[in-house]
């Protein structure tokens, strides 16, 4: 075998290694452009219902791996289960498998060529102390602000005491061109 025969193999290995961060979700090729987050606070728990839009500017479909980040500590436990769905244009949801890798839930989603996909993620966390955090700063590694973000708080048998993210209409806010500097912290009481 000549050195020239080894060139295609070396190029294939180099391409595979270069694609590894993308495949692991560390270097996204798609764009994270919008999110709608609804937090539901109630005695002892916080439910997260998030909708996330990813756009693919490239002329071929891409599979993007995504971590589902969540805050932990100070009485806020890791979620016992995480559910993920692709939402089609008509609102129908197709379940996605969620795999736990190194203690983090992870999904992979196919984003069509020059298209977009909406992902819905739901999980619940025990928040024994009546406070919880939703991680907003995980947007920063995507390298650009969200075109639009909507954040809502719902309560059930509790009263919202504090939200670190100012809420415009009492229970919601909409941000445009938004690259969060801090995470969203809530406190509630019976």
φ, ψ for residue 16, nearest 5 deg: -65, -45
Looking at the predicted structure, is the pLDDT value of residue 117 above 70? yes
Q: What pLDDT is recorded for position 22?
A: 46
User: If we measure between CA atoms, which residue out of 128, 157, 154, 159 comes closest to residue 44?
Assistant: 128
Q: What pLDDT is recorded for position 21?
A: 44
Average pLDDT, rounded, for the chain: 89
pLDDT one-digit tens code per residue, 15-69: 444 445 445 555 688 999 999 999 999 999 999 999 999 999 999 999 999 999 9
**Percent with pLDDT over 70 in the chain:** 86
Domain boundaries, given as residue ranges, for the chain? 30-189
Q: What pLDDT is recorded for position 28?
A: 82
Looking at the predicted structure, is the pLDDT value of residue 172 above 60? yes
Q: Other CB atoms closer than 10 Å to residue 122's CB: what's the count? A: 18
DSSP string for the chain: --HHHHHHHHHHHHHHHHHHHHHTTSS-SSEEEEEEEEEEEETTEEEEEEEEEEE--SSS-EEEEEE-----BTTBPPPS-EEEEEE-TTS-EEEE--EEETTEEEEEEEE-TT-EEEEEEEEEEEBTTSEEEE--GGGGGGSS-EEEEEEEEEESSSEEEEESS--TTSSEEEEEEE--SS-EEEEEE-
Q: What is the CATH number of domain 30-189?
A: 2.60.40.3680
Looking at the predicted structure, is the pLDDT value of residue 126 above 50? yes
User: If we measure between CA atoms, which residue out of 144, 134, 142 comes closest to residue 182?
Assistant: 134
């Amino acid at each position: 075998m000549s050195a020239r025969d080894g060139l295609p193999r070396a190029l294939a290995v180099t391409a595979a290694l270069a694609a590894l961060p993308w495949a692991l979700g560390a270097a996204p090729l798609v764009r994270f452009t919008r999110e709608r987050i609804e937090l539901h606070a109630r005695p002892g728990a916080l439910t997260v219902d998030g909708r996330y839009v990813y756009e693919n500017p490239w002329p071929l479909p891409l599979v993007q791996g995504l971590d589902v980040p969540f805050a932990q500590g100070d009485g806020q436990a890791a979620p016992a289960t995480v559910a993920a769905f692709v939402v089609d244009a008509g609102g129908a949801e197709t379940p996605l498998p969620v795999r736990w890798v190194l203690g983090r839930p992870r999904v992979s989603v196919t984003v069509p060529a020059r298209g977009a996909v909406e992902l819905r993620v739901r999980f619940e966390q025990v928040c024994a102390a009546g406070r919880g955090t939703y991680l907003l700063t995980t947007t920063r590694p995507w390298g650009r602000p969200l075109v639009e973000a909507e954040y809502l708080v719902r309560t059930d048998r509790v009263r919202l005491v504090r939200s670190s993210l100012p809420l415009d209409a009492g229970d919601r806010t909409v941000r445009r061109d938004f690259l969060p500097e801090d995470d969203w912290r809530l406190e509630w009481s019976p």
